Amino acid sequence: MSDPRVGLWTLISADSSLNPPNRLSITHSNDGLHVVMSGETHVDFTANRNGHETSAPGNLGFNQIELHRIDKRQSEVKQKKDGTVVATIREKLSKDGNELTAATATVGHPDRITVWTRSGGAKIANDLFAGEWAQDVSKTRLRQGLVLKIEADGSGGVRFLGDYSYTARFDGKQYDLKNSRNDTVTLQLVDPHTVDAIYRRDEQVTQNDRWQVSADGQQMTLSTTGTLESGQHLTEKLVFKK
Query: How high is the pLDDT of residue 145?
Result: 56
Domains and CATH numbers, the chain: 7-19+140-241 (2.40.128.20), 23-135 (2.40.128.20)
Q: Strands, E, within 124-218: which ranges?
A: 131-135, 147-152, 157-161, 165-169, 175-176, 184-191, 194-201, 204-213
188 phi and psi, to 5 degrees? -135, 130
Query: Which pLDDT value is given to residue 10?
Result: 67
State whether the Cα torsion 76-77-82-86 is positive or negative: negative
Instruction: Report the 3 state secondary structure along 162-174.
Output: CCCEEEEECCCCC
CB 185 within 8 A of CB 197: yes
Give me the amino acid identity at 61: G
The order of strands in the sheet holding 157-161 is 165-169, 157-161, 147-152, 7-17, 233-241, 219-227, 204-213, 194-201, 184-191, 175-176
Could you list the mean pLDDT of each consecutive 10-residue stretch along the chain, which spans 242 residues? 67 55 71 75 80 87 90 88 92 82 84 77 50 48 64 84 89 92 91 90 92 85 85 84 80
**Distance between CA 114 and CA 21 in Å, rounded?**
12
